[in-house]
Amino acid sequence: MKHSYESRVYYADTDAYGVVWHGAYLRWLEKGRVELCDMLGLDLVSMKQNDMLIPVTNMNIKYKASAKLDDRIIIESWVEKYNSLSVTFKQVIKSKDSGKIYAEALFDCVAVTNDGKLYRRMPQELAQKFEKGVKCPALV
């Protein structure tokens, strides 16, 4: 299952050189993962109330080109892989107009309690949703 959303590059997203500041990509990627979780039926506020959090434990971002002020971008997010301990999200940020890829990223997350204790196995509620996310065909 793939989540996709569009955004625009605003002045606040750019650095002194007029290109997107590297941290702005992280904000867009975070939004994409949260929206994908919502689409899978995983509301992060409800998860916290049920003593489940899924923090990022590893991130790998490849910056391939620089987006610039007023560019229209598309952020795509999907579950790349899932196992009983962790989930990996794959994400791409690209130009809406040309399809040029600006950044590709992989984020690994694990399930922990609100106190930070690692679950030995992904809680069943999360496991079912992530398995569904991996097995469903990507939505365009």
pLDDT tier at 136, thresholds 50, 70, 90: low
User: Which helix (H) or strand (E) covers residue 94, if one does?
Assistant: strand 86-95
**119 found inside a domain:** yes
* Domain assignment of residue 25, yes or no: yes
CATH number for position 79 = 3.10.129.10
The one-letter amino acid at 34: V
The DSSP H or E segment spanning 17 is none
| Residue 124 counted as domain residue | yes
Residue at 93 is within a domain: yes
CA distances (Å), origin 36, targets 11, 26, 96 = 26, 15, 19
Please give the distance of CA 11 from its chain centroid, rounded to a whole number. Answer: 23
Residue 57 lies in a domain: yes
If one counts the domains in the chain, the total is 1
In a domain, 13, yes or no: yes
Residue 15 annotated as catalytic: yes
Query: What is the rounded CA–CA span in Å between residue 123 and residue 119?
Result: 7
Residue numbers of the domain that contains 37 = 2-135
Region 91-99: mean pLDDT is 98
Question: Does a structural domain hold residue 102?
Answer: yes
pLDDT tens per residue across span 79-90: 999 999 999 999
Confirm if 44 and 34 have CB atoms less than 8 A apart: yes
Q: Which of 13, 15, 43, 115 is catalytic?
A: 15
What confidence tens digit (pLDDT) does each residue in 98-135 have? 999 999 999 999 999 999 999 999 999 999 999 888 87
**Residue 140 located in a structural domain:** no
Mean pLDDT of the chain: 94
> pLDDT for 16-25, tens place per residue?
998 999 999 9
**Angstrom distances, CA of residue 61 to CA of 53, 109, 117, 136, 140:** 22, 15, 27, 25, 23
